[in-house]
């Protein structure tokens, strides 16, 4: 089950709940008990390399220079 972040509309308390997608509406604020809430969308931590991002060796994507097209694509010009 995923974690969801919420903000209570009654008391503004922000909280996180681990709940099934179909059960999100049943979640109540742990501080005041209200079920009136707004789901928050926060950026999470990314683990491991992200496609197209600089790696630890300074390369991009699959190891080629981004200025030259990378991945053995020649000059990067078509």
Q: 3-state secondary structure string, the chain?
A: CCEEEEEECCCCCEEEEECCHHHHHHCCCCCCCCCCEEEECCCCCCCCCCCCCECCCCCECCCECHHHCCCCCCCCCC
Report the phi/psi class of residue 51: left, alpha or beta, with left for phi > 0 and alpha for psi in -120 to 50: beta
Q: What is the pLDDT of residue 48?
A: 57
Higher pLDDT, 57 or 2: 2
Judge whether residue 61 has pLDDT over 60. Answer: no
Q: What is the pLDDT of residue 76?
A: 54
Q: Is residue 59 part of a domain?
A: no
Q: Is residue 21 part of a domain?
A: yes
Q: How many domains does the chain have?
A: 1
Q: Is residue 76 part of a domain?
A: no
Residue 43: which pLDDT band, with cuts at 50, 70 and 90? confident
Q: What is the pLDDT of residue 47?
A: 57
The residue range of the domain holding 28 is: 3-40
């Amino acid at each position: 089950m995923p974690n969801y972040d919420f903000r209570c509309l009654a008391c503004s308390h922000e909280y996180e709940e681990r709940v099934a997608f179909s059960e999100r509406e049943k979640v109540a604020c742990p501080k005041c008990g209200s079920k009136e809430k707004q789901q928050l969308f926060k950026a999470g931590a990314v683990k491991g390399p992200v496609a197209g991002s600089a790696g630890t060796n300074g390369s991009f994507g699959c190891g080629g220079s981004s200025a030259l097209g990378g991945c053995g694509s020649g000059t990067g010009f078509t």
